[in-house]
Amino acid sequence: MAVTACGILRPYPSDMSQMKNSASPDVGTITVSVTFFADLRRFLPRGADGPQPYRLTSNATLGDLLATIGIKPDADVTLALDGELAERDTPLRDGADVMLLSPMEGG
């Protein structure tokens, strides 16, 4: 596995050895799939497309995931977990599908 200086592995298109990892090796981990929409696609790694896998500690929340990705705590982001709207304090589960969307405005 290629680990960066801060201990984070890079996301991959099809190679599990390049998964972004915020979990310590001695803690239980989960893997979630993250799809970025609209202007949030700027958080995709260069050259990446489609859903990206992230490995986190087993007790991680959506807020922890956002921090791992590099999205600021005060950023206005609409979150969905397994097709349902969710909040930053929502716990993640192994195999979850996360969607990150820009908030909609208008009437």
Classify residue 33: in a domain, yes or no: yes
- Mean pLDDT value across residues 73-77: 94
**pLDDT-based confidence at residue 14 (cuts at 50, 70, 90):** very low
Classify residue 44: in a domain, yes or no: yes
pTM of the model: 0.74
- What's the domain count of the chain? 1
Whole-number Cα distances in Å, 49 to 43, 78, 85, 86, 97: 11, 20, 23, 24, 16
**pLDDT-based confidence at residue 59 (cuts at 50, 70, 90):** very high
Domain that holds residue 64: 16-101
Supply the CATH number for residue 90's domain.
3.10.20.30
pLDDT tens digits, 18-48: 456 555 555 699 999 999 999 999 999 889 9
Classify residue 60: in a domain, yes or no: yes
**pLDDT-based confidence at residue 4 (cuts at 50, 70, 90):** very low
